[in-house]
Chains A and B, each alone.
Chain A
Amino acid sequence: MLGLPDASVWLAYLLSIGGAILCIVYGAVYWNRDD
């Protein structure tokens, strides 16, 4: 995957990007929410 043979590393690579996407989606969905 992505030139990285070991799952323990490509998973971290993808989860880093996934984590940033989670933050973007959360921020966009709750943009105007004051809870």
Chain B
Amino acid sequence: MTYVLLGLIVYIIIMVALSYIGYKNTRNSGDFLLAGKKIHPVVMALSYGATFISTSAIVGFGGAAGQFGMCLLWLTVFNIIAGVFIAFVVFGKRTRKIGHELGTNTMPEFFAVRFGSKFMQGYAGLLIFLFMPIYASAVLKGIVDYVSQYTGISFGVVLIVLGLLAAVMVIFGGLKGIMYSDAFQGGILFAGMAFLIIYTYSILGGIVGAHSSLSVLPQMPGVAEQIGGLAKIGFTGWTSMPKAGTPLWWNIVTTLVAGVGIGVLAQPQLSVKFMTVKSSKELNRAVLSGGIFILFMTGVAFTVGALSNVAFYNATGKIAIVAAGANDSIIPVFIRDFLPKWFGGAFLVVLMAAAMSTLNALGHTMGTALGRDFLKQSLNLKTDTIKLTKIAMIIGLLISIIVAWLSSKLDVSMAIIAIGTSLFYGLCASAFLPVYIAALYIKKFPRGAAITSMLTGSVSSLFWLFFVQEKTAASLSLCKLLFNTTSIVKGTPLNTLSMVDAIVIGLPLSFIAAGLAWVIIGNAKENKSVM
């Protein structure tokens, strides 16, 4: 407990100092919204990484790896190749260049100015504001779960305290303060995760030894009974892929890997980071540290999550999900029971850093989406941007706190954090990715086709999430309310569709709609001059 308090006090002092430096250096809305466009490449890479990686990745997806195994490492491959390399090189450079030329500060504004459509700005802003709280609540749940496991204080109390702390930090500084504190938090994250992987491998007999123990675990006495339920839905072991076409395979391949792996390319809170550096040279340099950083985040979390099964089994005869009690508890309980006492306290600071850096960016994005993009630009409200944004941030975070509390009432065997995260990532991909690619690379792409794609992707995705995909439809409850079932295809010949993630439907439809509308409408006569 002493370690926890000591760690937290030092962390909060440094965070307040960095936020204050950012606050003092924030002179106008450009500083507030884009950190003055002169951020150092390492600061930018760490800030991007710390925003991308939250408690959701470490606790939520790490817990999913504890239950489903190392096949989740395919998400790490996507995280690095798509989330860093393609994001920075293919999307980042053009976003920075065109964003600066058009003078835009947010992703919805980028679309609006590029295609000359206020509607797109308002619609994208509203979509982000309405659904980002689901992701923010998953991030909050990750840190609250850990703290309440560690201290024994109830979920509700911890949620309110940490939710308020996040709100204070967001309100205090603009993006400049966030970028500096993110870089500090990114450093903490890197050190914590590096220690975690080295220590885990060392207690389990080295890299090959640990992997071999995990491979033979399903044949060990008493394990077959514990994985019986999982085996029915396609589980084949922690070091192999689930059986193709089974519910577990659909869940891992379409929801956990594709949803987040592709969705990262169209995240409004991440794309805004590209606009904070002054030239593409900084982005080239940021790729170097970004790749290593992400490997040490999700690569470590997923490997340790899966390997925790060996540690739990050797100590208790139980596999991780049985020993920890819930998917989202695997990583917290593993650290509490198997790592040195001081590390439990230090890791709490690591998770605080992961949660706060992401919540900060999400609060900022929700605030600008509602305050600036929807109310001010689209509805022409005459109020100061910073003031309006801050009010919208508070509303967004309050909704996130309420959703986090509601999500704690859901079935604990579900990977609640991971599903909430991939829901938002998949929705962003379906709504924004085709439009984003067109905005960056297709000069003559017409406004009508951009609007058609955004509407088709978002509406089809939302329909799928609310009525077809059982994991999300059951939690969102609207389908149950209207049709008294958890999925409209359940029990019909189309039952397999209830396991398919919305991104598999929404993203292709969004691309097809973009192409068809472009053919019908023809080339744009005159868009904002770019490229």
Contact = CB atoms under 8 A, between A and B. Distances in A.
B27 interface: no
B15 interface: no
13 contacts: A4-B215, A8-B240, A8-B241, A9-B240, A13-B70, A13-B303, A20-B80, A23-B84, A23-B291, A31-B285, A32-B281, A33-B281, A33-B284
Interface in A1-19: 2-6, 8-9, 12-13, 15-17, 19
Interface of B: 69-71, 73-74, 76-77, 80-81, 84-85, 89, 93, 207-212, 215, 237, 239-241, 279-281, 284-292, 294-295, 299, 303
B207 A15 contact: no
Contacts of A30: 284, 287
Contacts of A28: 288
Nearest to A5: B215
A2 B208 contact: yes
B294 A20 contact: yes
For the complex of A and B, list the 8 residue pairs with the smallest distance between their C-beta atoms, beginning with the closest: A23-B291, A27-B288, A3-B211, A19-B80, A12-B73, A3-B208, A6-B240, A20-B295
Nearest to B288: A27
A19 B80 CA distance: 6
Interface of A: 2-6, 8-9, 12-13, 15-17, 19-24, 26-28, 30-35
Contacts of A33: 280-281, 284
**Residue among B71, B89, B211 with the highest chain A CB neighbour number at 10 A:** B211
Given A12-B77, A16-B76, A26 B287 contact: yes
B74 A12 contact: yes
B79 to A, nearest CB: 8
A32 B363 CA distance: 34
B239 A23 contact: no
Given A5-B215, A23-B291, A12 B76 contact: yes
Given A2-B207, A26-B287, A27-B284, 16 more contacts: A3-B211, A4-B70, A6-B237, A8-B71, A12-B74, A12-B77, A13-B303, A16-B76, A19-B291, A20-B291, A22-B291, A23-B291, A26-B288, A27-B287, A31-B288, A33-B281
Contacts of A24: 288, 291-292
A2, A13, A15, A35 — most chain B CB neighbours (10 Å): A13
A23 B212 contact: no
Given A22-B291, A23-B288, A6 B239 contact: yes
B211 A2 contact: yes
Contacts of A3: 207-212, 215
A25 B29 CA distance: 37
A5 B239 contact: yes
A22 B85 contact: yes
Contacts of A12: 70-71, 73-74, 76-77
Contacts of B69: 9
Given A4-B239, A9-B71, A23 B292 contact: yes
